[in-house]
Amino acid sequence: MKEYGKREFRKLFKELSGYEKKGVGMWMDGLPASPMQIVQAHIMREDTVYMRDYVLNDKGDIKDLCFHDVKEKIVKKK
């Protein structure tokens, strides 16, 4: 892993830990996940893209943060 990658992963962990301290639930592909589990998934699957989905409560505050594995579809041109 490049040094740039390590910095980015540390930044992501710090961000997610802040959400966790505020009581925001975190999910990865439909399962509960900790900040460390989410960061490890990003490290292990560098070629995978994760989309974030922010779920808000009635007041507009972030209630849950979900990460979804986005599968790329290759479309052949005719």
pTM (2 d.p.): 0.78
Q: Could you tell me if residue 34 is inside a domain?
A: yes
Phi, psi for residue 60 in degrees, rounded to 5: 90, 10
Pairing verdict, β 49-56 and 62-70: antiparallel
15 part of a folded domain: yes
pLDDT recorded at residue 78: 64
Confirm whether 78 is domain-assigned. Answer: no
Tell me the C-alpha distance between 17 and 36, whole Å. 9
DSSP state of 72: P
Counting the structural domains of the chain, the total is: 1
35 located within any domain: yes
What is the rounded CA–CA span in Å between residue 56 and residue 61? Answer: 5
Q: Is residue 42 part of a domain?
A: yes
Residue 76 domain-assigned (yes or no): no
Considering the domain boundaries, does residue 43 fall inside one?
Answer: yes
Classify the C-alpha dihedral 44-53-31-71 as positive or negative. negative
**Interval 17-70: pLDDT, tens:** 999 999 999 999 999 999 999 999 888 876 778 899 999 999 999 999 999 988
Domain that holds residue 56: 3-70
